Amino acid sequence: MATQKTLRASPAPKTRTNATRPAAPTPARRVSAAPLQENKLPGLPGLRTGDDVETRIYNTVYESVMTQRLTPGTKLPEASLCELFDVRRATVRKVLQALAHDHIVDLRPNRGAIVAEPTPEETRQVFEARRALESAIVRLATRHTTREDIASLRRQLEEEHHAMHRFTQPAWARLASAFHLRLAELARNPVLQRYLMELVSRCSLIVALYEPPGKASCEHEEHARVVDLIAQGDADGAAREMEAHLLALEHSITLQQERSDNNLARMLGMA
C-alpha cells in the first residue's frame, strides 16, 4: 500500500518592499482535503512500478488477488498466462517466482502455481509480528509528531471516512493500509517502516482473501482514537489502542473461502 503524499501549494512570488512600508505578512497556507475520487485512492501496498511486461503481469495477478477476483487455491497455469499475456513461459515463470517470494502465490513441485492459502498458524504469526512492530511505531510517532502531522493525519481520516461510504472493500483496504504506513513514516525510523511495509502487504493479502464481504478491513473509529491519543501525547494509550485494533482485525477474519468457477481471464480482469 504507498504513503499518501500531502499536496503543497506553490510558494507565493516575492515582492519588493521599502523601509517605510513593510510587506504584508503572507497568509498562512492551508491545504484542504480534496474530495476523494476512485482514481486517486492510494495504491495497494506491494504493487510494483514500471511499464515492462513482467511488472504488468505481476500487478495484474496481485490486484486480482487483492480485489478478491482470484480466490485462495485458484490454479495459475503457465500455459494460460502465456497465452493471455502473449509472452514466453520463461517470463511467466520469473513472475510467478516473484509472486511466490512475496507470498502471493504458492509454487508446488510438479503441480504448478496456485493463489496462496495462508494457514491459521501463519495468519497468527503475521498479526503477532505486526502488533509488536506497530506498538513500537506508535510510541515513536507519538514522540515525533508535530501539529502539522496531526492535522495531516486527520485529513487522511476524513478521506478514509468518505471512502467507507462511497467505495468498495478494496478501496477501504488501500486507505487503511495507507494510514498505518503513514504512522510508520512519522515514527522517523526507516528500518521499522520497511518491515511494516512487508507485514502490511501480507496482512492485506490475508484480509482480501478471507475477510467477510461488506466489512471494513479497519474500523475508522479505531484509527481516529489512535490519532487522538497521539495528539494528547499518550504513547502508552496509543500503543494499547493499536494493539486492540489489530486484534479485532485478526479476529474478524474467517479462514474459509469458496472456490470461483470463473475462467482465468475473467478473474484477472482481462475478459
Same domain, 195 and 208: yes
Residue 59 lies in a domain: yes
Residues 246 and 263 both lie in one domain: no
For the chain, the domain total comes to 2
Does residue 33 lie in a domain region?
Answer: no
Contacts of residue 91, Cβ cutoff 8 Å, sequence gap at least 6: 53, 54, 57, 82, 85
Q: Which CATH number fits the domain that encloses residue 83?
A: 1.10.10.10
- Residue % of the chain over a pLDDT of 70: 72
Query: Which CATH number characterizes residue 197's domain?
Result: 1.20.120.530
Query: Can you tell me the distance from the alpha carbon of 196 to that of 57, in angstroms, rounded to the nearest whole number?
Result: 25
pLDDT at 7: 39
Report the b/e string of 119-149 with b at 16+ CB within 10 A: eeeebeebbebbbebbbebbbbbbeebeeeb
Q: What is the reported pLDDT for 241? A: 97
CA distance 83 to 166: 36
15 domain residue, yes or no: no
Q: Which domain holds residue 127?
A: 120-251
- Residue 206 shares a structural domain with residue 243: yes
Do residue 124 and residue 240 come from a single domain?
yes
pLDDT in tens, 63-104: 888 777 888 889 999 999 999 999 999 999 999 999 999 889
Kindly state whether residues 216 and 191 are assigned to the same domain. Answer: yes
